[in-house]
Amino acid sequence: MLRSTFVFSALLLSALSPQQPAATPAAQSMPADAKTLVNPVKPTPDSQARVKKVYGYDCAMCHGANGNGKGDVVADMKLTLKDYTDPAALKDLSDGEIYYVIKNGKGQMPGEGDRAKPDDLWNMVILVRSFSKK
Ligand code: HEC
């Protein structure tokens, strides 16, 4: 009950403030089913190359080109980021939870929102996980 009140007020807040970037209130209320969503895409060399390019534009300045969390703006923004080259970094997050953060943002992270299609977001999840596999 408490939770649904919170979700409702977060939704209300975001509806009332259309100027807010996607990363704000709604982002804090991860839907309960996010954890159990199963990644529906199979990565191909093409789809991974495509999202790698997007990662370069939209993510690398914070998370680093290879996911190590040492992007160019980290010091200025005083960010503390995980090192995705370490397999432990994302082990407690499901694919659905990672998808949700990439789409909606979290804290100081802006989300991709509607800029990326669902398939590309799922491919981005695969890309982010792949940083610890090299
Ligand atoms: C402005 C810097 C910034 C940009 C750009 C950014 N992120 Fe983030 N990201 C963060 C921060 C800060 C967090 C931690 C948020 C928190 O827990 O409050 C985060 C969290 C995450 C998480 C959740 C796991 C974790 O590390 O806590 C994932 C996955 C992620 N980012 C992927 C991406 C991807 C993919 C992109 C590009 C589409 C991206 N981020 C763009 C700053 C950024």
- State pLDDT tens for residues 102-115: 999 999 999 999 99
Task: Tell me how many helices (H) and strands (E) the chain has.
Answer: 6, 2
Residues 6+ apart with CB under 8 A from 53: none
Residues 6+ apart with CB under 8 A from 93: 101
Residue 79 near ligand 1, beta carbon < 6 Å: yes
Q: Six-digit token pair at 107? A: 């804290």
Ligand 1: distance of its center to the CA of 114 in Å?
A: 16
**pLDDT (tens digit per residue) in 52-96:** 999 999 999 999 999 999 999 999 999 999 999 999 999 999 999
CA distance 19 to 23: 11
CA 110 to chain centre: 8
Residue 106 near ligand 1, beta carbon < 6 Å: yes
Number of domains in the chain: 1
| CATH code assigned at 76 | 1.10.760.10
In terms of residue numbers, what domain contains 44?
2-133
pTM: 0.83
